């Protein structure tokens, strides 16, 4: 973290969630933290499976946990991986985040610093959503 960078509790929560990642196959550990409109933080980590395809990303774990607990309005998400470059949500996670969060800031960080803060709309510029039906 740069000396001037304020500590963001959301990023800290995503870093802590990453410690709980279950990633024995890829060894690529990811943590996510979703902020609700009423200021709560719901976290997730990636959970892998021997079938590979049943692996669930950290962002999706956080989002589905939050939805299942009754949260419906979200303000930001932080995603943490141990990479120098930003780790953005995968395509399916972008689709799900767009559905339930809309155009929230996606804060990408590693263990030391924030690497990018990008609006979800910039990561997912031509969405298929309810307006498409
Ligand atoms: N992964 C996430 O959890 N979130 C991302 O944004 C990128 C990828 C996970 C899925 C898999 O367990 C591992 O990282 C390697 O793809």
Query: 94 C-alpha to center of ligand 1: Å?
Result: 13
Tell me the percentage of the chain whose pLDDT exceeds 90. 95
Contact residues for 101 (Cβ-Cβ < 8 A; gap 6+): 34, 63, 74, 77, 120
Separation between Cα atoms, residue 62 and residue 122, nearest integer Å: 21
Answer yes or no: is 46 within a domain: yes
Query: 56 C-alpha to center of ligand 1: Å?
Result: 8
What pLDDT, in 10s, does the model give residues 22-33? 999 999 999 999
Answer yes or no: is 25 within a domain: yes
What does the DSSP 8-state code read for residue 56?
B
**Active-site pick, 16, 35, 59, 69:** 59
What pLDDT, in 10s, does the model give residues 106-121? 999 999 999 999 999 9
Answer yes or no: is 33 within a domain: yes
Answer yes or no: is 1 within a domain: no
Answer yes or no: is 132 within a domain: no
Look up 69 and say whether it is catalytic: no
Q: Which atom of ligand 1 is nearest to the CA of 48?
A: 12
Answer yes or no: is 24 within a domain: yes
Answer yes or no: is 2 within a domain: no
| pLDDT band for position 5 (cuts 50, 70, 90) | low
Average pLDDT over the chain reads 96
Range of the domain at 72: 7-123
Q: Determine whether 31 is exposed, middle or buried from the number of CB atoms within 10 Å of its CB (0-12, 13-18, 19+).
A: buried
CATH number at residue 59: 3.40.140.10
Q: Strand, helix or coil at 15? A: helix
Query: Which residue has the least CA distance to atom 5 on ligand 1?
Result: 89
Rounded mean pLDDT of 33-59? 98
Structurally, the chain folds into a number of domains equal to 1
Separation between Cα atoms, residue 15 and residue 130, nearest integer Å: 33
Asked whether the predicted pLDDT for residue 3 surpasses 60, the reply is no
Q: Which atom of ligand 1 is nearest to the CA of 60?
A: 3
């Amino acid at each position: 973290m740069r000396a001037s960078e304020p500590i963001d509790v959301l990023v800290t929560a995503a870093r802590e969630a990453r410690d709980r990642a279950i990633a024995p196959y890829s060894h690529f550990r990811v943590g996510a933290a979703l902020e609700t409109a009423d200021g709560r933080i719901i976290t997730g980590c990636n959970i892998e499976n021997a079938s590979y395809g049943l692996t669930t990303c950290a962002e999706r774990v956080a989002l589905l946990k939050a939805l299942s607990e009754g949260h419906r309005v979200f303000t930001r998400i932080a995603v943490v991986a141990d990479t120098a470059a930003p780790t953005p949500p995968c395509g399916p996670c972008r689709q799900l985040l767009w559905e339930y969060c809309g155009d929230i800031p996606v804060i990408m960080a590693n263990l030391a610093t924030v690497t990018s803060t990008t609006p979800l709309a910039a990561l997912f510029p031509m969405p298929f959503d309810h307006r498409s039906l």
